[in-house]
Structure 1
Amino acid sequence: MPTDPLFAQAQAAFRQGRLPESLQLIDALVRRQPRHADAWNLAGMVCHVRRDYEAAARYFERALEVGAPVGVLVNLGYARQAQGRTAEAEQAYAEAARRDPRLALAWQKLGGLQEAAGRSEEALASYRRAVVLDPNDLRSLGDGLYLRRHLADWAPDEVLSPERLLAAFASARRSDFSPGLLLSLPEAGPMARREAALKFAQSQWGPVLAAPPLAPQARVIEGRMRVGYLSADFCEHAVSYLVNEVIAAHDRQQVQVFVYAYRAAAPGDPWRQRAVDAADVFVDLDAMDDATAAARIHADGVDVLVDLTGYTGHARLGITARRPAPVIAQWIGYIGTLGEPRLADYVIGDAIATPPETAPHFSEALALMPRCYQPNGRPFAPDPAPTRAEEGLPETGTVYCSFNQTYKFNPPLWDDWCAILRDVPGSVLWVAAPRDPTAATRLRREAEARGVGGERIVVARQQSRAGHLARLPLADLALDTTPYNSGTTASDALRQGVPLLATLGESFVSRMAASLLHAVGLPDCVLPDRAALVARAIALGQDEAAREALRRRLRDGHADCGLFDPVGFARDLERLFRAMHAQRLAGRRELIALDAPAPWGLPANAFGN
């Protein structure tokens, strides 16, 4: 049966992002053909993109009433899930799988909902079933493998394996799975990550990327530069811990600051309020669709827009794909490339984390800070530390720690850490509580398989950020993860006077800790390889005086290192933004490297208490 011309026009308008026009065409069509199931389904898809999830669900229900195929049940479930009505969403996914057990998408969505509910084993079973039904289902492969890494499930698995995921990425023409997982896989190299990012971007926003940009030209700045910060994480989140004081420290004689938030924060979240207070203009974009949000940023006349989310949770790169500002940089949220040049012109790094020779790893041009790429708040007096006993740690013996999420752990890393524990009697490894308790059991079993008693893996109790920072000094040494280094986890340890041992990898994500260690004056804690790190960790673990000397060097260097200097960092960042803008005016986009840092010096009471 030939496609109705009105429906074809509505589909084309939808694919090209002309959502109001698509709805108008659909309305005309269903007035004439009220039982046109595909039209009702398309109306639901349009409303979903517009973030009107209640209307989307109504249209999907109408499509099912007039005979839409079973796959529309998945769409209905997705709309209900976006509304937070998870029981109804699960019912819709399960009904779709019951009616058509070979519908891989139903199993994929069911797995995601089960995972969010903490039912990890059910989720893995659903992901595996989806991959068996569709071996090229990148989303189920990726989600399943990511969950396995969170569970510290490193056993051989023919269905959900890194090798299978990388092969699927390499052969796929399209991708609906964010490439973020690849950052933590030792099996994935920088160029594989770049290729996967490009495929994902083009698959998600192809028509938008091909459309004319909202802000094709830069203006000549007279007066203050307009800088916008765009993020899902202006809330209780590691990104806020790092950037809020730097944003607040901008020179308001030179910069007007716009903060754009697009994820709702919990009521009373102090970090959201700090973001509001740091901005000249704060805009909540959460209820807007991507096109409307981009139009708002463009209307504000932002000169440089900084994306702080990238391919992390809740990302909405459909906003930056529309190019609402003439210069777009990506920074701190995603430690890799976005793959598609239109999504960002620059990635902000530094000479250690992103040296010029790593430029081929990025679709963005490198913009190098003169010190460390990572922003931080000012020094502050920590709360009194609890006792070791209160934290479940032994009174004597070396305490190594790694408070990274479990997905950053891998078998080679565990080999090294267990070798350290074996050679330092009485030592323990203190780790963050995994999101699933079964992961802690697996980690202990993996230690026992390597000749280390499971009781020597001490799982920290859940704690507030303030409480966590207060307890950190109980650790003697922090051990870095690789290939996905510690980020905020590392600077938290260094802030609290706990030295970190790291190696220097080949990609941004595996060079973060080295940058931080150079910034605090501990370049000797960056080791050339795994064996050297193990040897140094053992030597320090066996020598209390050497450990204390290292801690003293770290503490004594805090005042002059510049890592915890939001004012100086903001000045450097402003110079970097002006260099980006100048290149845009000149029609260039190439490496920027600031020659020297702004003078250090935090004014007394710069931010109050």
Structure 2
Amino acid sequence: MSIHLQKALQTYKSGNYKKTITLLSPVLQRPVVPPEALLIAAQCHSKTQQYPEAAEYYARAANLQTGKEAAILRTLAAKMRSRAGQTQEALVTAREAARGHGFDSNAEEAYRRILQVSLCLDEAEQAHADFLAGMKAGNAVLFGIEAAFDHITWCGDEAINARITRVQDGKPFTAEARAARRARPHRWGEKIRIGYLSNDFSDQHATMRLFQSVILAHDREKFDVTLFCYTPSDLIALDKGMRRQYPGLVPIGHLDDQAAEKRIRNQGIDILIDLKGHTKGARIDLVNRGLAPIQVAYLGYPGTGSGIDCDYAITDTVVTPDSSKPYFHEKLCRLPETYQSNDGRFRELPPPASRESLGLPEDRIVFASFNAHRKITPATAELWVRILEATGDSLLWIMCTDAFAQESFLHYMQSRGIDVERVRFAASAAYGPHVARLQAADIGLDTFPYNGHTTTSDKLWAGLPVATKKGSNFASRVSESLLNALGVPELVAADDDDYVRLCVELARDHEKRAAIRQKIADNRFSAPLFDTERFTRHLEQAYEMMAERAKAGLEPDHIDVPALPPRVHPFGTRPM
């Protein structure tokens, strides 16, 4: 090893990555560069978030290797290119890593994840079919490749969903640890002490847009509420002021799991509610340390939290009918009307934006889907093609800012005979302008098998009819749950063919479309969907029923929370 390389390695180990790159410069300019120098350079650029440079060095190092070593390095290069926003280059590199060196689990995971956001839908259709066939054939390795959240984006088979074994950023709980948690002595007080665990406590996060009104509506005579917060500082900085109203915020982001466990235990929490599940930033190992006698999964992840020690999953009878029970390790606590909180107190409700201001024509039907574009599966796109084919010069308006994904999607549409002029792309927007622009569309389209959740709620809040269809797992039944709770079940189709029929009928029948829009507007402040107070009382009754069982020494069991009597009068008055 040369002197330059030795000094660079020592400097790298000290954590001075920029100086390391400077020391490596003479080595990297040689005609033949040692693999060690390329790897150190790649690591330094990665740690300083210089992702394109990191990708280049990983790729160069991969070219010097074969087999598994090459696959590992190309996978790292693909991940760096993905972080840099170089989606096309990332996909090419990930494909080579996964298909050019024999099977490698990490390479396969990266390839599948990048493929999903690339909207190369024909390639994705074949990849999903092959992967699913292997799963159904019992290939155990495949169940440990994808993160659970990525898996349910494309797979709507809840029997397969329940068998996912990968626990991202954590280790699965054991039966012994769960039993020890439940057996630990606990002192109950007069009030039920509930603790919410999340890194989303900011009014600019989608979860809090749904849930913050519930936090503030809890009955303080019956419940003590603590928010165990590890929200990152950049998200906190975006908050517009609601966070200051959140009760009982206890920061734990600076604490490791052991210290955070101690902090939470000191609160004597009766029921801990994990608002994350298998989503970004979840602290699964912390939950699995056994923080409370009752632990509950809610809102963040639409499915069973494989490997996460929760006693209950809060759902409803639509997203989890009785047939779903075998596919959850948690007991189901099913709320009446809908499982999803939908803030009806603090959401902005601005006047509609004009089509002219949005660059949309006045005289054409506009179908809108503002779901994250990774939810656009081949099956979803095929349905959209059928709808567009049957509705003349209608437009499809979707949210997608990735240039390669846009190009891929347009190519797919064009290959199916759809004029690319009929597809319009939108960027993300602040919440008020977003709700305003949703009102400019005619019909909201859903995605399958992962429906819109917050997105469907936002569209309905804006008064936009959202068409969906019956689903086959939790994630694919959410829109039906929301539509039922708003009193518009006629927007739920029975199957694919009926979905196309429904969307085409809405596009062609102006009077029917207008009547449904009026019904949504009329129901906004009278139906259960946006009734925060009603929802909160149902959720609190769920907590009381859980606590009653625990106090009686009973194991958790399935719970169906009874509905309160229907409201006689509206609960809100804000007109469109």
* Equivalent pair of 1:391/1:461 in contact (CA under 8 Å): no
1:183 to 129, 152, 163: 152
- Give yes or no for contact 1:152–1:443 (8 Å, CA) kept in 2: yes
Describe the SS at the equivalent of 2:439: helix
CA distance in 2: counterparts of 1:57 and 1:295, whole angstroms: 38
Name the amino acid aligned to 2:249: V
**Alpha-carbon distance, 1:421 to partner:** 1.7
RMSD: 3.5
1:302 aligned residue: 269
Q: CA deviation at 1:85?
A: 6.7
Which moves more between the two structures, 579-588 or 493-502?
A: 579-588
Cα separation, partners in 2 of 1:128 and 1:153, compared to 1, 3 Å: same
Q: Deviation per CA, 1:166-210, whole angstroms, max 9, x where unpaired? A: 637832188364121221214x521211111xx213994158776
Asked whether the 8 Å contact 1:259–1:275 carries over to 2, the reply is: no
More moved, 438-447 vs 471-480: 438-447
Equivalent position to 2:248, from 251, 272, 280: 280
Whole-angstrom distance in 1 between the partners of 2:571 and 2:417:
52
Deviation at 1:116, TM superposition (A): 1.1
Alignment of 1:223-302 (within 5 A): 223-235=190-202, 236-266=204-234, 269-271=237-239, 274-283=242-251, 285-302=252-269
Distance (Å, rounded) in 1 between the aligned partners of 2:172 and 2:41:
24
Q: Is the 8 A contact 1:565 1:602 kept in 2?
A: no
Instruction: State the Cα deviation string for residues 439-486 of structure 1 (Å, max 9, x = none).
Output: 122222222222221111111233212111111111111111111111
Aligned residues: 540
CA distance in 2, matches of 1:238, 1:175: 28
Counterpart Cα distance in 1 of 2:270 and 2:527:
31
In 1, Cα distance between equivalents of 2:15 and 2:564: 51
1:329 — aligned with what? 296
**Residues 141 and 165 in structure 1, CA contact (< 8 A), matched pair in contact too:** no
Match of 2:447 among 460, 481, 485: 481
2:253 counterpart letter in structure 1: D
Distance 1:467 1:358, change over 3 A: same
Q: Which deviates more, 199-208 or 327-336?
A: 199-208
- 2:496 is aligned, of 523, 527, 530, to 530
8 A Cα contact 1:234 1:240, kept in partner: yes
Question: Which among 306, 316, 338 is matched to residue 372 of structure 1?
Answer: 338
**Partner in structure 1 of residue 412 of structure 2:** 446
Match of 1:170 in 2: 139
Residue 218 to residue 152, structure 1, CA distance change in 2 (3 Å): farther
Partner of 1:26: none
Q: Which amino acid aligns with 1:316?
A: R
CA contact (8 A) 1:259 1:276 kept: no
Q: What CA distance in whole angstroms lies between the structure 1 residues aligned with 2:260 and 2:38?
A: 29
Q: Which residue matches 1:587?
A: 554
**Structure 1 residues 82, 477: CA separation in 2 closer, same or farther (over 3 Å shift)?**
same
Q: Structure 1's 190 and 157: CA in aligned 2 closer, same or farther, altered over 3 A?
A: closer
Query: Are 1:391 and 1:460, in contact at CA under 8 Å, matched by a contact in 2?
Result: no
Could you list the runs of 5+ residues in structure 1 that have no partner in the other structure? 1-39, 45-52, 59-69
Q: 1:309 to 1:79 in 2, by over 3 A?
A: farther
- Work out the CA distance in 1 between the residues paired with 2:188 and 2:328: 29
Distance 1:98 1:479 in 2: 45
Contact 2:352 2:439 in 1 (8 A): yes
Is 1:399 the counterpart of 2:376? The answer is: no
Question: Which residue matches 1:546?
Answer: 512
- Which one of 81, 104, 110 corresponds to residue 143 of structure 1? 110
SS of 2:162's partner is helix
Deviates more, 1:508-517 or 1:330-339: 330-339
Please give the alpha-carbon distance, in whole angstroms, between the structure 1 residues aligned to 2:273 and 2:42: 33
Q: 1:244-277: per-residue Cα shift (whole Å, max 9, x none)?
A: 1111211112112111222413276354853452
Q: Structure 1 residue 338: deviation in Å?
A: 1.5
Q: CA deviation at 1:540?
A: 1.4
Q: Which amino acid aligns with 1:352?
A: V
**Structure 1 pair 506–384 and aligned structure 2 pair: CA distance change class (3 A):** same
Partner of 1:130: 97
Report if the CA contact (8 A) 1:107-1:127 is conserved. Answer: yes
Counterpart AA for 1:329: V
Question: How much does 1:152 deviate?
Answer: 0.8
1:138 & 1:505 partners in 2: Cα distance?
Answer: 30
Q: Partner letter of residue 458 of structure 1?
A: R
Partner Cα distance (2:289, 2:402) in 1: 38
Match of 2:527 in 1: 561
The Cα of 1:211 is off from its aligned counterpart by 5.1
Paired residues of 2:441 and 2:464 also in contact (CA < 8 A): yes
**1:96, distance to aligned residue in structure 2 (A):** 5.8
CA shift digits 1:132-191 (9 cap, x unpaired): 4665433332332222121111233799555237637832188364121221214x5212
Distance 1:333 1:467 in 2: 25
Equivalent residue in structure 2 for 1:426, among 393, 396, 400: 393
> Structure 1: how far apart are the matches of 2:166 and 2:18?
27
* 1:84/1:572 CA distance change after superposition, 3 Å: farther
What is the TM-score with the length of structure 1 in the denominator?
A: 0.80
1:217 aligns with 2:194: no
Measure the CA separation in 2 of the matches of 1:83 and 1:261: 27
Give CA deviations for 1:339-390 in whole Å, capped at 9, x if unaligned.
Answer: 23x5211111111111222111211111101121111112556223221122
Distance 1:72 1:193 in 2: 42
Letter in 2 for 1:401: A
Residue 20 of structure 1 corresponds to none
Structure 1 stretch displaced more, 103-112 or 596-605: 596-605
Change (3 A) 1:381 1:195: closer
Aligned to 2:375: 408
Is 1:502–2:471 an aligned residue pair? no
CA contact (8 A) 2:348 2:431 kept: no
1:305–1:327: 8 Å Cα contact kept in structure 2? yes
My pick for the range that moved more, 324-333 or 77-86, is 77-86
Alignment-mate amino acid for residue 562 of structure 1: P
Distance 1:571 1:158, change over 3 A: closer
Q: Which amino acid aligns with 1:484?
A: Y
